[in-house]
Structure 1
């Protein structure tokens, strides 16, 4: 009987995880923009090193 509950629980967990449809991550993410114009301009003018990032913060206007 205990084995039955374990199998049903695992099946329910797999079905609930498999049916979730998320297109965008809910967690905030930061990633580097590759081949950015800002980086190229700083490199061409020998102004130093600049890093350009893509910042994703879901519902940023509703977080205050």
Structure 2
């Protein structure tokens, strides 16, 4: 089976969109310091504006 022109163009379009998002993510720093958010969540202090926690018996 051979690929038609439409299949080839669709494949190239999808590849270009993927590469565009990858380049955007690299330029805006989306992949920098991906480990800290999970640690920051554990280090946060209790917020006084948060509703009180229900005590479990």
TM-score, normalised to structure 2, is 0.38
Which structure has more helix as a fraction of its residues? 2
Q: Relative contact order: is structure 1 or structure 2 higher (C-alpha 8 Å, sep ≥ 6)?
A: 1
TM-score, normalised to structure 1, is 0.35
Which structure has more strand as a fraction of its residues? 1
